[in-house]
Amino acid sequence: MTQSGDHIARRDPGIVMRLKRLGSLHQCRLSFMRSLTRRMAKDSWSFSRPIFDIDDNGVGHAVYTAQGPERTYSLVAFAHDLPPEMRSDRVIATAWDATFTLFDGIPDDADIERLSKNVPLQEAGRVSNSEISVSRANRSVRLWAHFVDALASGRQPDQDKIDAVGYLMRTTAVYGSGKLGAIDREGIADRKELAAPFQAEMLSVFLTRTFARDLVQHMANVKGGDQAVRLDPAIARGLGIGNSTGLGMAPFIVNHPVLFNNWIMAREEAIARVRALKSASESEKALFETVLSRSVVTVDHWRSEHPIQIAKLQGLNADLELLSDHLSSTGLANAYPWDCLMAWAETALSEEGQELVASLILEPYDEIVDGLATCMADSNKDAFVIDGAMRVQEVRALIKECFGWAFDVDWNATVNQARAWYVSEEKLEPRLGERFEEPIEDYEQPLAPARDAVAAFKAMESFDATQEIAAFLLEHPEHRHTVRRAQISAIAPYGEIRDNTISATVRPIDMLRAKLSFFGAICFDPRSDRWVRICMYAGAPYPEELSTANADLWVYPEASA
Predicted confidence (pLDDT) per residue in 481-491, tens digit: 999 999 999 99
pLDDT at residue 90, as a whole number: 65
pLDDT at residue 89, as a whole number: 67
CA–CA separation, 445 and 450 (whole Å): 13
Burial annotation 144-178 (CB, 10 A radius, 16+ → b, else e) = bebbbebbbeeeebeeeebeebbbbbbbbbbbbbe
225 close to 258: Cβ distance less than 8 angstroms: no
For residue 423, give the nearest of 410, 433, 412 by alpha carbon. Answer: 433
CA–CA separation, 346 and 348 (whole Å): 6
Which parts of the chain sit beneath pLDDT 70? 1-5, 89-92, 427, 559-561
pLDDT at residue 85, as a whole number: 74
pLDDT at residue 92, as a whole number: 64
Within 13 A of 309's CA, how many CA atoms are on the CB side?
25
pLDDT at residue 561, as a whole number: 40
pLDDT digits (tens, 9 = 90+) for 214-224: 999 999 999 99
509 close to 526: Cβ distance less than 8 angstroms: yes
CA–CA separation, 501 and 447 (whole Å): 7
pLDDT at residue 91, as a whole number: 63
What global pTM score does this model have? 0.94
pLDDT at residue 338, as a whole number: 97
End-to-end CA distance of the chain: 26
pLDDT at residue 383, as a whole number: 87
DSSP code of residue 204: H
Helix axis angle for 257-275 and 480-489, nearest 10°, is 20
Using alpha carbons only, give the angle 21, 23, 25 rounded to the nearest 5 degrees.
Answer: 75
- In this structure, the strands spanning 167-175 and 240-245 are parallel
pLDDT at residue 1, as a whole number: 35
DSSP code of residue 405: G
pLDDT at residue 480, as a whole number: 97
132 close to 176: Cβ distance less than 8 angstroms: yes
